[in-house]
Amino acid sequence: MRLSGAEIIIKLLERQGIDTIAGIPGGANLPMYDALGKSESIRHILTRHEQGAGFIAQGMARVSGKPAVFFATSGPGATNTLTAIADAKLDSIPIICITGQVPLSMIGTDAFQEVDTYGLSVPITKHNFLVRSVEDLLWIIPAAFRIAASGRPGPVVIDVPKDVQAAFHEFETWPEPGEREPSEGLIPAEIRRAASMINSAKKPVLYLGGGVIQSDSADEALALAEKASIPSVVTLMGLGVIPTDNPLCLGMLGMHAARYTNMVLEECDLLVAVGVRFDDRATGKVPEFCPNAKVIHMDIDPSELDKIKRSTASVTGDVAEILTALIPLIDENARASWISRVQTLKKEHPMLIADADDPTSAYGVVLKAAELAGEQAIVCTDVGQHQMRTAQVYPFKHPRQWLTSGGLGTMGFGMPASIGAALAAPDRPVICFSGDGSIMMNIQDLATAMEYDIPIKIILTNNNALGLVRQQQDLFYGKRYFASDYSRSVDFIKIAEGFGIKAHDLGTSEDPAETLKIALSEPGPSLIHVPLSPDDPVYPMVPPGAANSEMIGGEKHV
């Protein structure tokens, strides 16, 4: 067969099972778009900004666990993708960004819409390619899928010059699709050592992160916790690994954890860290994190071991394989005294949820929406107070139910990611909690949700401020609220309606719970506006750089 580079790309993506690609065309990727237009199995979602396309791909990849693809043109198209790619790198999300580039002969001439996409993407990708000939596409595209999905997943960029897209190549057979490679074998001695440390620990805690979700091993993590009665904390990325109503679940640890969660960690004698990277938002001041504990660290990425905290024992490998090998070696153990101590701490230092019963309050709207949306709902957030509140109180039940920008903390993540989630899981409700600061950073893709009638439900808590910034100014900068309050407010109801999205205002509703119910059950996209006071803090809070034991707020009787 004789095909152009652009046709080869689209055919290879079809062979990888890709059915949806978000992106924006431009001069340098028009051959790819021309070929995509002829595809019968791939749907294109035209976004209004390439960053939105990147987060749509992330939403698809986070829900499905499989690599998702998005397209951008050269120059500004490519630079607009960078935040979404960096975000995927920090949260280990497999996405593949295919960019157009000026023709090979013009690279390096400062041609129109030329930018060094390869150079720009080196530090924020797992790997990247500049395709130099049409025949290379036959190995580069499958390689990109293999790399994105194997080991610790991550983003891959493929930059394709326009003349490579247009060039023809004659070949006989298609390459096999790129797949996740089997991980390297475990070292049995590492497993045995970990098992014996767990068996002899008096006060162990499981510390579960996004790696458990990436390896689809939430069931195994729960089995380990239950077999040996090990209380379990999760990271922001690990929410959903242990159902929040399980008695062993202690919720999220770290900066915005419940007081008892961080206090249990203060007392533990063994920290079993699984698929986590000891992020500073989780650990607080590292030397004071779990001060009495030995540490077992299990991770697929050897460079995470001993990176931040030296472990007593480490296990390198796929977390699913590690847990499967480990569980038979673990003694059943009721651990009555430790469990009872944890329960005492939980009782004495509970998570206090202000106005939990009021659906127009900051926490109440999260709880009411959760109740109305049901257990199958996918929950996306933007970044800010609404994100931390959702992480604190949403009753998560399943892995891949929770999509948030953890490592990079990207405002603007939530709304396009929720579009991606809805595309990947059209039968499930998708809720996006956003804030007035965050939604502005990708508000243009409300048009995308409208155009394709994607039924995302955006719950916009509006305090007319950059809430977390303002909270830090309140606590650590003498209440000097500089550049964190918006001096005039925006009418989000009109904005949503202007984008062709249904809008509801809980602030003026006579029956807010009913309004929320209507909004969540109606077809198509909706925006639910919830006005809040900028003075509502997210508590507890560990000051940045402080030990987790130095929590502010959230004390009982205060």
Partner 1 sequence: MCKHTVLELSVNNHPGVMSHICGLFARRAYNVEGIACMPVNGGKRSTIWLLVDADSRLDQMIKQVDKLEDVLGVERHDHGHEVISKMAEFVQ
Q: For residues 100 and 364, which CB has a smaller minimum distance to partner 1 in the complex?
A: 100
Nearest residue to 325 (alpha-carbon basis) of 314, 317, 336: 317
Residues of the shown chain interacting with partner 1 in the complex, contacts defined by CB under 8 A = 118-119, 122-123, 126-128, 130, 147, 301-303, 306-307
Amino acid at 501: I
Q: How far is the CB of 127 from partner 1 (least distance, A)?
A: 4
Q: For residues 308 and 490, which CB has a smaller minimum distance to partner 1 in the complex?
A: 308
Query: CB-based contacts of 310: which residues, under 8 Å, 6+ apart?
Result: 295
| Structure-derived torsion over alpha carbons of residues 47, 51, 54, 55, reported in degrees to the nearest 10 | -90
How many beta carbons lie within 10 A of that of residue 466, not counting itself?
23
Q: For residues 126 and 259, which CB has a smaller minimum distance to partner 1 in the complex?
A: 126
d(CA 99, CA 8): 15
d(CA 87, CA 76): 18
Q: How far is the CB of 277 from partner 1 (least distance, A)?
A: 13
Q: How far is the CB of 229 from partner 1 (least distance, A)?
A: 35
d(CA 216, CA 241): 9
Q: How far is the CB of 152 from partner 1 (least distance, A)?
A: 9
Distance of alpha carbon 492 from the chain centroid: 25
Q: How far is the CB of 307 from partner 1 (least distance, A)?
A: 6
- CA dist 225 → 207, 220, 230, 242, 263 (Å): 10, 9, 5, 9, 19
Q: How far is the CB of 511 from partner 1 (least distance, A)?
A: 54
Q: For residues 273 and 351, which CB has a smaller minimum distance to partner 1 in the complex?
A: 273
Q: For residues 83 and 125, which CB has a smaller minimum distance to partner 1 in the complex?
A: 125
3 state DSSP class of 156: strand
Q: How far is the CB of 306 from partner 1 (least distance, A)?
A: 8
Amino acid at 77: G
Cis bond before residue 76 (omega within 30° of 0): no
Q: For residues 1 and 122, which CB has a smaller minimum distance to partner 1 in the complex?
A: 122
Q: For residues 308 and 518, which CB has a smaller minimum distance to partner 1 in the complex?
A: 308
Contact 461, 414 (CB under 8 A): no
End-to-end CA, the chain: 75
Q: How far is the CB of 322 from partner 1 (least distance, A)?
A: 18
d(CA 138, CA 96): 16
Q: For residues 147 and 271, which CB has a smaller minimum distance to partner 1 in the complex?
A: 147
Query: CB-based contacts of 336: which residues, under 8 Å, 6+ apart?
Result: none
Q: For residues 173 and 303, which CB has a smaller minimum distance to partner 1 in the complex?
A: 303
Backbone angles phi, psi at 518, to 5 degrees: -60, -45
Q: For residues 126 and 386, which CB has a smaller minimum distance to partner 1 in the complex?
A: 126
Q: How far is the CB of 133 from partner 1 (least distance, A)?
A: 12
Q: For residues 117 and 217, which CB has a smaller minimum distance to partner 1 in the complex?
A: 117
Q: How far is the CB of 128 from partner 1 (least distance, A)?
A: 7
Q: For residues 126 and 457, which CB has a smaller minimum distance to partner 1 in the complex?
A: 126
Q: How far is the CB of 303 from partner 1 (least distance, A)?
A: 4
Stated length of the chain:
558
| Structure-derived torsion over alpha carbons of residues 433, 435, 441, 445, reported in degrees to the nearest 10 | 40
H-only helix segments in 167-312: 188-200, 210-214, 218-227, 259-267, 280-283
Both tokens assigned to 498: 């202007």
Q: For residues 303 and 487, which CB has a smaller minimum distance to partner 1 in the complex?
A: 303
Q: For residues 118 and 260, which CB has a smaller minimum distance to partner 1 in the complex?
A: 118
d(CA 196, CA 476): 44
Nearest residue to 1 (alpha-carbon basis) of 162, 225, 174, 257: 174
351: left (phi over 0), alpha (psi -120 to 50) or beta: beta
Q: How far is the CB of 184 from partner 1 (least distance, A)?
A: 13
Q: How far is the CB of 351 from partner 1 (least distance, A)?
A: 36
d(CA 539, CA 474): 13
Nearest residue to 265 (alpha-carbon basis) of 344, 197, 203, 335: 203
d(CA 190, CA 194): 6
For the four alpha carbons of 69, 72, 74 and 80, in that order, the dihedral sign comes to negative
Q: How far is the CB of 331 from partner 1 (least distance, A)?
A: 33
